[in-house]
Amino acid sequence: MVCSILDKAHTRFMSVDYTADFFAYYEVYGAESATIFADDMNKVIKSANKIDTVTLETNENYLICKIESRNGNSRVFEFVLPAETIESPNPPSISLPVSFKLDLDDLKQGIKDLKIVGSSEIKFVACEDTLNILAGVEVSTNYCYNLSIDNDVEDNISSRFSLEYVEQLLKFNKISKTVDLELGENHPLLYKFEDDVMGIKVNGMIAPRLEVED
Region of poorest pLDDT, from 40-49, 53-62, 118-127, 152-161: 152-161
Q: CA-CA distance, 156 to 122, in Å (whole number)?
A: 16
Q: Give the mean pLDDT of the chain.
A: 88
Residue 213 has pLDDT above 60, yes or no: no
pLDDT for the residue numbered 194: 95
Report pLDDT digits (tens) over 112-140: 999 999 999 999 999 888 999 999 888 98
pLDDT for the residue numbered 32: 76
pTM assigned to the model: 0.85
pLDDT for the residue numbered 214: 41
Query: Angle at Cα 145 formed by Cα 144 and Cα 149, nearest 5°?
Result: 130
Q: CA-CA distance, 64 to 74, in Å (whole number)?
A: 13
Compute the half-sphere exposure of residue 93: CA atoms within 13 Å on the CB side of its CA.
0
